Amino acid sequence: MLSRVAERLYWCARYLERAENTARLVRTYLQLSLDLPAKAQPGWGLVTEVLGAEEGFSKRRRALNEKNVLPFVTLSTEHPVSIASTIGMARENLRTTREIVPSEAWERVNALHLYVRRRASSGTSGGRYRMLSEVVQRCQQITGLLSGTMNHGDGYQFLRIGRNLERADMTSRILDVGSAHVLGGKVEQAPYEYILWMSVLKSLSAYQMYRQHVRRRVRATQVLAFLLKAVEFPRSIAHTLEEVRASLMRLPNPAPALKAMADVESRLEQADTDELRGERLRQFIDELQQDLARIHTQCDRIWFHPNA
Amino acid sequence: MPVRERQVDFSEYAAADKYDELITPQGTARAGAGGIVSHLRRLTHKRLIARQQAADLAIQAMGITFTVYSEGENIDRAWPMDIIPRVISLREWRRLEEGLVQRLTALNLFINDLYNEQRILKDKVVPAELLHSSGNYLEACAGITPRHGVWAHICGSDLVRDGDGTVYVLEDNLRVPSGVSYMLENRAVTKRVFPQLFRKHSILPVDDYPGQLFDTLAELSPRPLDYPEIVVLTPGIHNSAYFEHAYLAQQMGAELVEGPDLVVGDDDCVYMRTIHGLERVDVIYRRVNDDFLDPEVFREDSLLGTPGLFRAWRKGNVGLANAPGAGVADDKIVYTFVPEVIRYYLDQDPIIPNVPSYLCTDPKQREYVLANLAKLVVKPANESGGYGMLVGPASTAAERKRFAALIKKRPRNYMAQPALNLSTAPTLCDGRIEPRHLDLRPFSLQAGSSKVSAGGLTRVAMRRGSLVVNSSQGGGSKDTWIVDTER
């Protein structure tokens, strides 16, 4: 497999996963805003923060409200974080590697791109919940199609690494920003802590699985433990790392990447979720994200740009 | 009754002064076209339009696109396809196929001769000046004989039919002919739209083309391997034919590479950069023009090519299709000599004739061209894609004046042909079936043996009366059916 192709597949999977996660996040947020009284709402700044787009948004000098933030992170293409931009980039990466993936998968990605573009040009804000669900569903369909129809050879491993690194990244971001808001939040939010934690879980489609796993009232430390360490939950950090490791092992010369894996795995293992609060949690997540970035750097050095 | 509700009928369709591919002047179906014509007659216009829309949607969903350059931008457009197929009877096709193989065989002997002994020049069958004035002759190739003596492995010849029914070769594309992926995709779409017709009639399949292309390329491998490493070299996503490059790589199971993915080693072999390190490449189906192939030999500023590629090819360490320099024979001036070339090397008469042509280098012929610009099509020797030509009957006096000046200044750059009364086929235009002019580009393959695609890409001028079929200039396309009427 060509290095260039490996890299594009990796990014295609990352962008698709990012689009899906962004859609989940925004969908949960829309729901949350229905549940909480206005003064207890965490504000739409949280969404731009999770997506790392505060700066991009603030350049536009518009109020941080639903009317402005929602289009910015969904259908507009003026900033690279939006669902539309992200899907566009997934499509572009696949378009230049479409000879590698089953043509049906390319057709689905292309159709998703056309769908989002059509929605954007129709200019209506109605049915946005349905639109977000549609994006989630279609991304899932593509992931399933690739898993079920593509050779699980080198190319597939790069897709899987991209998908899981991105998923780990998003889970850590949601934990980071979400917990900062919930734990250090406004006094008015205290009565709603339960709902807020539920939202964190829901934005990762983790609520139901959490209940099955924990069988207790939603509490901060347990949510953290679940999303960080529950290997059986596919969006937890522990699970995504297992997936990445399994793929790395199947690729040629993975040693430096596996070493980076070992670092993050031991950090996760040693973390005591009862102790992780406030500043310590933020610091832990910062370090975790740096670990994840190092895995990416290693992939880049071993496979994508070995001579650079 | 509004047109939409009316049944399709061809009673007022036929035009006496044109040759239509499907309908005779009497309004009946031509050989092989009976099935599609009677099927169309059973449809209302409304239902036909609905099928066209279904086809357009399928094309969009399958992501079949082509790129046009417009105002400095690349625009990715959905591929335009008219759902009414163009039909050729198997009997006629067999003769055309034979003619195409004959032509490509002679052209390859000609190219190899030009780069080696130059017998044809010494025997004065083709004037020697022609070679030296051709922009496509590559000095660097002199003395080389590629494997099988074949230079042009993939050839796209454009065939047209005149008003009297004669089929001519309009031009040969021996450099990097494109369009074959659209031939394959058009068929895929038509099968979705008219599945029942494929069951009822004996229509030759086209799907074996990628396999035949692979076999042809495999014959160029310098190493005797069962699975030589074949790659498709593309200039990249911004090339107008990128879709096709990706499509063919996918269909052949070959890697699609860009120049920087390849590297020539100290052993003068070609390698590609993979996740396993460097891997040897045996055959390159290159879709990059000669000029850009190797900055060591051709354009130094090329970022699309790979330094050392030419050296590796000359040493026989890698197969290149088409070979560099093969374009020497698709110059439009060389074209005028092809009938003599066929007679010279094969001692046969051409099976498919050339369109009569006037050379602007010959004073008498030039005089005729300048005096008859309004009746002629003037073509530059080295352009493709329909750029830079003058279609006399559709031109303005100012355009003719400009071309007259161009011809006088550089006669070697131009040739002229009578504006043919191109044949037509029924085409769905704004909800009605109307005749539109078309041509045909079959794809011929040659290495150790020769093959021709079953039919080819039919291109159609969508504007009434227009003769320009290039997709970059608003042309459309049709699926091409070779129908066996004897089964």
* B179 in Cβ contact with B457 (< 8 Å): yes
Task: Return the structure tokens found at B111.
Answer: 């190219």
Give the Cβ contact number of residue A46 at 10 Å: 21
- Lookup result for tokens 């996040």: A25
Task: Return the structure tokens found at A106.
Answer: 């390319």
Q: In Å, how far are B357, B373, B392, B417 from B398, measured between CA atoms? A: 24, 12, 11, 20
pLDDT reported for residue A187: 57
Among A146, A107, A110, which Cα is nearest to B192's? A107
Instruction: Give the pLDDT band of residue B383 (cuts 50, 70, 90).
Output: low
* B287 in Cβ contact with B175 (< 8 Å): no
Instruction: Give the pLDDT band of residue B411 (cuts 50, 70, 90).
Output: confident
Q: How far is B375 from chain A (nearest CA, A)?
A: 45
Task: Look at B275 and A251 and tell me if their CB atoms are within 8 Å.
Answer: yes
Task: Look at B237 and A96 and tell me if their CB atoms are within 8 Å.
Answer: yes
Task: Return the structure tokens found at A212.
Answer: 């099955």
Average pLDDT over residues B273-298: 93
Instruction: Cite the beta strand spans of B144-282 per DSSP E.
Output: 154-161, 167-173, 230-234, 255-258, 262-264, 270-274, 277-280
Average pLDDT over residues B266-275: 95
Q: What is the pLDDT of residues B208-243, one digit of tens each?
A: 999 999 999 999 999 987 789 999 999 988 888 888
pLDDT reported for residue B67: 73
Task: Look at B246 and A6 and tell me if their CB atoms are within 8 Å.
Answer: no
Give the Cβ contact number of residue B224 at 10 Å: 6
Minimal-distance CA residue of chain B relative to A101: B250
Greater pLDDT, B53 or B412 = B53
Per-position b or e across B424-448, b if 16+ CB within 10 A of its CB: bbbbbbeebbebbbbbbbbbbbbbe
pLDDT reported for residue A208: 85
Greater pLDDT, B11 or B456 = B456
pLDDT reported for residue B431: 87
**Alpha carbons B47 and A73: distance in angstroms, whole number:** 42
Instruction: Give the pLDDT band of residue B473 (cuts 50, 70, 90).
Output: confident
pLDDT reported for residue B447: 96
Q: How far is A94 from chain B (nearest CA, A)?
A: 11
Contacting B with CB below 8 Å, chain A residues are 1-6, 92, 95-100, 103, 106-107, 110-111, 114, 154, 251-252, 302-303, 306-307
Task: Look at A2 and B274 and tell me if their CB atoms are within 8 Å.
Answer: yes
Q: What is the pLDDT of residues B331-342, one digit of tens each?
A: 888 899 999 999
pLDDT reported for residue B481: 96
pLDDT reported for residue B469: 81
Q: How far is B336 from chain A (nearest CA, A)?
A: 39
Query: Please, what are the domains in chain B?
Result: 92-187+204-346 (3.40.50.11290), 358-418 (3.30.1490.270)
Q: How far is B249 from chain A (nearest CA, A)?
A: 6
Q: What is the pTM of this model?
A: 0.81
Task: Look at B237 and A99 and tell me if their CB atoms are within 8 Å.
Answer: no
On the 0-12 / 13-18 / 19+ scale of CB atoms within 10 A, B225 is: exposed
Among B136, B180, B135, which Cα is nearest to B154's? B180
Question: Of A2, A6, A110, which is closest to B63 when you measure between CB atoms?
Answer: A110
In the 8-state DSSP scheme, what is residue B203? B
Instruction: Give the pLDDT band of residue B311 (cuts 50, 70, 90).
Output: very high
pLDDT for B264 beyond 80:
yes
Spell out which residues of chain A touch residue B246, defining contact as CB-CB under 8 Å. Answer: 95-96, 98-99
- Lookup result for tokens 């947020």: A29
0.95 surpassed by complex ipTM = no
Greater pLDDT, B158 or A67 = B158
Residue A110: partners with Cβ closer than 8 Å, 6 or more residues away: A91, A95, B61, B62, B63
Among B244, B331, B316, which Cα is nearest to B283's? B316
Q: What is the pLDDT of residues B168-179, one digit of tens each?
A: 999 999 999 999
Question: Of A107, A154, A251, which is closest to B62 when you measure between CB atoms?
Answer: A107
Q: In Å, how far are A102, A141, B191, B485 from A108, measured between CA atoms? A: 10, 8, 20, 39
First to last CA, chain A: 18
Instruction: Determine which helix (DSSP H) or strand (DSSP E) holds B414, and give its type and residue range.
Output: strand B414-418
Instruction: Determine which helix (DSSP H) or strand (DSSP E) holds B52, and give its type and residue range.
Output: helix B45-61
Task: Look at A6 and B261 and tell me if their CB atoms are within 8 Å.
Answer: no
**Alpha carbons B244 and B246: distance in angstroms, whole number:** 5
pLDDT reported for residue B72: 56
**Alpha carbons B221 and B229: distance in angstroms, whole number:** 8
Among A177, A150, A176, which Cα is nearest to A163's? A150
Task: Look at B60 and A114 and tell me if their CB atoms are within 8 Å.
Answer: yes
pLDDT for B68 beyond 90:
no
Average pLDDT over residues B121-133: 88
Greater pLDDT, B191 or A37 = B191
Average pLDDT over residues B98-125: 97
User: Using a CB cutoff of 8 Å and minimum separation of 24, what contacts does B27-30 make?
Assistant: B30/B87, B30/B89
Mapping DSSP onto H, E and C, the string for chain A reads: CEHHHHHHHHHHHHHHHHHHHHHHHHHHHHHHHHHCCHHHCCCCHHHHHHCCCHHHHHCCCCCCCHHHHHHHHCCCCCCCCCHHHHHHHHHHHHHCCCCCCCHHHHHHHHHHHHHHHHHHHHCCCCCHHHHHHHHHHHHHHHHHHHHHHCCCCHHHHHHHHHHHHHHHHHHHHHHHHHHHHHHCCCHHHHHHHHHHHHHHHHHCCCHHHHHHHHCCCCCHHHHHHHHHHCCCCCCCHHHHHHHHHHHHHCCCCCHHHHHHHHHHHHHHHHCCCCCCCHHHHHHHHHHHHHHHHHHHHHHHHHHHCCCC
| Largest pairwise CA distance in chain B | 76
pLDDT reported for residue B100: 98
Question: Of B62, B246, B261, which is closest to A4 when you measure between CB atoms?
Answer: B261
Spell out which residues of chain B touch residue A303, defining contact as CB-CB under 8 Å. Answer: 275
Mean model confidence pLDDT for chain B: 90
Average pLDDT over residues B78-101: 95
Coil, strand or helix at B418? strand
Helices (H), B336-425: 338-346, 363-371, 397-409
Q: In Å, how far are A62, A115, A131 from A124, measured between CA atoms? A: 20, 14, 11
pLDDT reported for residue A184: 58
User: Using a CB cutoff of 8 Å and minimum separation of 24, what contacts does A187-190 make?
Assistant: A188/A37, A188/A39, A188/A40, A189/A36, A189/A40, A189/A42
Per-position b or e across B182-206, b if 16+ CB within 10 A of its CB: bbbbbbebbeebbeebeeebebbeb
**Alpha carbons B74 and B67: distance in angstroms, whole number:** 6
> Which portions of chain A are predicted below pLDDT 70?
123-126, 180-191, 308
pLDDT reported for residue B66: 79
